[in-house]
């Protein structure tokens, strides 16, 4: 006969996975590093153009639920080394997601840690659980710079970094994140600091802004696109433009891309047979791109 204590142990064992999934992102990654959750006046929202919410496909997405969260997640991995300037990796989620779901679905924090790079991961909240690409305040001049200042101030306050000087920056984002990333490149105030850009099936538009950055910087640009994600034609258009302008690039199926390719090519177009969301994590793409990046090792 099973005793009460044994039954309790079994019940707790059954509950653990579900309870673990309910942990807020500030606690879920404690074994990997230190997660800060701040609110910034320079996050995407709230914004006047979404004060009344947003409509899409016959559905209204109220401002209170979708456009009032000024959260910024800041993750510092175990083994982080203090340096005079702090390198930053910014990730932006796509449609119908939020910081928490993007972290959990796509293993963003895990991939970042597994890359072994000495940097800080930053994820500002976007249109929360809404089908919307609007970048809010981060589309405005110099606001990205002010957001970076807030991030560094928080890290300094928590005695994680010594100074508040930004180092080099990587922008990465999925799907609808293309818009906010393009405006940051154009007018965010730290364009000279942005060294790499990763678009995960995200080139839906604002292509001229990405092309301008490619032509006026030496930064690395990785665009992974899919057949069914709606980004392939725009990716092919940009390929044609770069070829006409005489700007070298490498375009190949994902199955042929090697770690060496990721290291040596400044501009890469990666044609993936995976699904729209799979291109972030199914083959640990974010981890591999970071491993091949300029970032120093921890």
Q: How confident is the model at residue 26 (pLDDT cuts 50, 70, 90)?
A: confident
Percentage of the chain with pLDDT > 90?
A: 90
Q: How confident is the model at residue 203 (pLDDT cuts 50, 70, 90)?
A: very high
Could you give all domains of the chain from N- to C-terminal order, each with its CATH number?
34-291 (3.40.50.1820)
Cβ neighbours for 35, distance < 8 A, ≥ 6 positions apart: 25, 26, 27, 28, 29, 73, 74, 75, 76, 109
- Report how far residue 252's alpha carbon sits from residue 61's, in angstroms, rounded to the nearest whole number: 39
Q: Is the pLDDT of residue 208 over 90?
A: yes
> pLDDT, tens digit, for every residue of 95-105?
999 999 999 99
> pLDDT, tens digit, for every residue of 48-80?
999 999 999 999 999 999 999 999 999 999 999
C-alpha torsion sign, points 118, 185, 280, 67: positive
pTM: 0.91
- Report how far residue 214's alpha carbon sits from residue 221's, in angstroms, rounded to the nearest whole number: 7
Q: Is the pLDDT of residue 264 over 60?
A: yes
Virtual torsion, Cα 140, 104, 293, 113, nearest 10 deg: 130
């Amino acid at each position: 006969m099973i005793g009460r204590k044994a039954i309790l142990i079994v019940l707790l064992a059954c509950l653990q996975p579900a309870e673990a999934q309910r942990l807020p992102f500030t606690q879920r990654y404690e074994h990997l590093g230190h997660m800060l959750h701040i609110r910034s006046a320079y996050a995407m929202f709230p914004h006047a153009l979404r004060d009344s919410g947003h409509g899409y496909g016959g559905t209204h997405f109220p401002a209170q639920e979708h456009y009032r969260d000024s959260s910024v997640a800041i993750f510092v991995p175990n083994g982080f080394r203090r340096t005079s300037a702090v390198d930053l990796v910014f990730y932006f989620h796509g449609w119908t997601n939020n910081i928490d779901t993007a972290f959990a679905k796509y293993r963003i924090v895990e991939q970042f840690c597994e890359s072994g790079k000495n940097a800080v991961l930053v994820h500002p909240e976007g249109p929360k659980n809404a089908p919307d690409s609007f970048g809010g305040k981060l589309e405005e001049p110099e606001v990205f710079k002010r957001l970076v200042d807030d991030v560094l101030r928080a890290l300094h306050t928590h005695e994680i970094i010594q100074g508040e000087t930004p180092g080099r920056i990587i922008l990465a984002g999925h799907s609808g994140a293309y818009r906010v990333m393009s405006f940051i490149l154009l007018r965010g105030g730290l364009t000279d600091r942005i060294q790499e850009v990763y678009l995960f099936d995200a080139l839906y538009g604002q292509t001229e802004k990405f092309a301008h950055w490619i032509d006026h910087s030496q930064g690395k640009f990785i665009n992974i696109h899919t057949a069914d994600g709606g980004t392939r034609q725009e990716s092919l258009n940009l390929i044609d433009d770069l070829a006409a302008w005489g700007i070298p690039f490498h375009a190949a199926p994902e199955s042929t891309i090697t770690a060496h390719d990721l290291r040596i090519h400044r501009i890469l177009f990666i044609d993936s047979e995976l699904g729209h969301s799979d291109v972030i994590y199914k083959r640990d793409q974010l981890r591999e791109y970071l491993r091949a990046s300029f970032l120093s090792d921890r």
